[in-house]
Structure 1
Amino acid sequence: MHALNLQPKTLSLAERLADLAVDALIDEADLSPKPALVDRRGNGAHTDLHLGLMHASALALWPAFKEMAEVAIELGEIGLPLREAVGRIGRDGEQAMLATTHGVNTHRGAIWALGLLVAAAALEPDSSAASAIAVRAARLALLDDRYAPRPLSHGAQVAQRYGARGAREEAQLAFPAVTQRALPQLKRSRTDGHGEQNARLDALLAIMTNLADTCVLYRAGEEGLRTMQLGAQAVLDAGGSASLAGRRRLHELDQQLIALNASPGGAADLLAACLFIDRVESGESLIQGAF
């Protein structure tokens, strides 16, 4: 083959957005040390998950994210046809995920959050401010998908029991945990010179300080939720993950949550959403031929 034929092809907008969604999931999985979550150190509070499985699951979702972006570009407006198409593609993506993981739920919540955000970003690529993307995603989430299955997920059941805000409501409110907590903390930590990995850990902790994480509530009840929220705030108050005192508090939180079998999976999904929006907002995903 001639060398000129080996030039990387120019990717479409849908392909680039799918790349960023998968990158966000892999970066979230790799980030270490996360309290009680799968990372490079181990399985956290999980017995059925490991890092390789998280990577495989993320990669299996690439076609779904690409299709969601494509249908948003094709339809060109927020409405019931787009909402129902995104829902159908998301359910197909979930089946692809489960086939890859042999039935283990690795990224169901992330499919919901990132699927909406991918579609929102594809609708108006020239309007890439975090708040604008989140509002478009919220408008989409507020529409009722007539074809969505009605049985309540574990998260929805827990949200009803404790009066907590679940993943659906978080999206319908334009992802306040991301736009009001995670992204501002991510940028502050970067500005303070804490390094990218510590900035991302601090962003995760900022989400955990306030989120009524239904994954934690399902696994450990209100005690687990209080432990997560207060422990995350203690890490940030001690100087964040870049400080020695903060690292000590982070280690303590990790041990406490593992002992309670409390894994903040909802916070992890929202961190992936934060990383995706951060890259789209920076323009990284929309630069032609960047990947």
Structure 2
Amino acid sequence: MKKVDILGELATRSILLEVSSHPKPGLVTPFSQGAHRDMDFTLFMKSTAVLSQGFKEVSHFGYNYKGDLENMLPPLRKLGLEVEHRMFEVTNGINTQKGLIFLFYLILGSSGYLLSKRKLSTKNISSSVAKITKGITEKELGTIKKSKKNLSKGENTFVKYGITGIRGEVEKGLPTVMDIGLPEFKKAYQITQDINKSSLHALIAIMSVAEDTNIISRNGIDAYYDVQKKASEILQVGGILTPIGLSKILDLEMDFLKRNISPGGAADLLSATLFYYFLEKEI
């Protein structure tokens, strides 16, 4: 198999492992719908199957791309909208992975491009994502007027609180993945040799810092800060690596179910973390 094809395979694997990990507070797992009433594990499997073909396509697009990285965003978004349309067809209009498509099309477009230049590494992927999205926060959020109608969740959050969400994350080069998610996953895996436990540990670490606009749009700014605070407290007692940490994660799961909280943005960044890990190990 060509390396460019392996990129899409690793992306699909990473998403499947993220969705399959359990227990994830407020998120869909094989045993829980989390805080969602309109989606479950089976629906995510159907949606991910659609994305898998798109991941192969965007990896090849990046590999064959001859322009400057600063001009890659428009064609990437066009490709992303095509697979997004197919996703909505399969899910009957339910948004399972729209944000994930945006994130992984940037990552895979960058990965394919760097592979063709023999410069593929997680550090270079992050740098390339930052180049592709340079100015996106100011361009797409900075000019928004409060009077504008039909704001997206991310736009509305920026107008109210100045939080840039995934746009800010990608423009900065995915620091939550590089500096938090990946190191914490590696630390946990070195101790446990267990992908599920390590994924949960990394998720809690990501939740402690991520600008998760999904939480704000569903539950408000107070819940957003509360999630970060509780995740930080779990990390301070060892996260998944200690009995008390695991107990607190289970308590957090019950708390999120009662309050209808879903850290979907953190889940997307966990998928990206897993992709980075597998890429370092296998390519």
TM-score of the alignment, normalized to the shorter chain, above 0.5:
yes
Q: 1:49 offset after TM fit, Å? A: 0.9
Distance 2:7 2:135 in 1: 23
Counterpart amino acid of residue 232 in structure 1: A
The aligned residue for residue 85 of structure 2 is 95
Distance of 2:132 and 2:275 partners within structure 1: 18
State the distance in 1 between where 2:131 and 2:219 align: 32
Deviation at 1:265, TM superposition (A): 0.3
Deviation readout 1:147-203 (Å, 9 max, x if unpaired): x9x964212322331211211111011011101110111111122336322111111
Which of these residues, 118, 121, 145, is aligned with residue 129 of structure 1? 121
| 1:72 matched residue in structure 2 | 62
Q: Cα deviation per residue 1:247-266 (whole Å; 9 max; x = unaligned)?
A: 11001111222222110000
- Kindly indicate whether the alpha-carbon contact (under 8 Å) linking 1:182 and 1:274 is maintained by their aligned counterparts in 2: yes
- Counterpart of 1:88, as a letter, is K
Distance 1:176 1:84 in 2: 23
Cα contact 1:37–1:46 (8 A) shared by 2: yes
Q: Residue by residue, what CA displacement relative to the aligned partner does 1:22-77 show, whole Å, maximum 9, x if unpaired?
A: 11111110010000100122101000110011111111012222221112111244
Equivalent residue number for residue 17 of structure 1: 7
| Contact 2:205 2:232 (8 Å CA) reproduced | yes
Q: How does 1:102-121 map to 2 (within 5 A)?
A: 102-121=92-111
Provide runs of 4+ in structure 1 moved above 4 Å: none
In structure 1, how many angstroms separate the alpha carbons of the residues matched to 2:248 and 2:168? 31
Separation (CA, whole Å) in 1 of partners of 2:58 and 2:175: 23
Secondary structure (helix, strand or coil) at the match of 1:45 reads coil
The structure-2 alpha-carbon separation of the partners of 1:247 and 1:194, relative to structure 1 and needing over 3 Å to count, comes to: farther
Distance 2:22 2:66 in 1: 39
Structure 1 residues 152 and 135, CA gap change in structure 2 (3 angstroms): farther
User: What is the match of residue 179 of structure 2?
Assistant: 180
| 1:239 positional shift | 1.8
Q: After TM superposition, list the pairs within 5 Å mapping 1:1-291 onto structure 2.
A: 11-79=1-69, 81-125=71-115, 126-142=118-134, 152-193=151-192, 195-282=194-281, 284=282, 286=283
Give the stretch that moved more between structures: 175-184 or 195-204.
195-204
TM-score, structure 1 length as denominator?
Answer: 0.87
Q: Is the 8 A contact 1:183 1:274 kept in 2?
A: yes
8 Å CA contact retained: 1:186, 1:202: yes
* Aligned residues of 2:135 and 2:171 also touching (Cα < 8 A): no
Three-state SS of the structure 2 residue aligned to 1:241 is: helix
Q: Which amino acid aligns with 1:110?
A: L
> What is the letter of the counterpart of residue 89 of structure 2?
A
Q: Identity of aligned pairs, percent? A: 28
The count of aligned residue pairs is 270
Question: Structure 2: how far apart are the matches of 1:153 and 1:279?
Answer: 33
Match of 2:147 in 1: none
Name the CA distance, whole Å, in 2 between partners of 1:132 and 1:80: 15
Q: Which one-letter code corresponds to 1:160 in the other structure?
A: V
More helix by share: 2
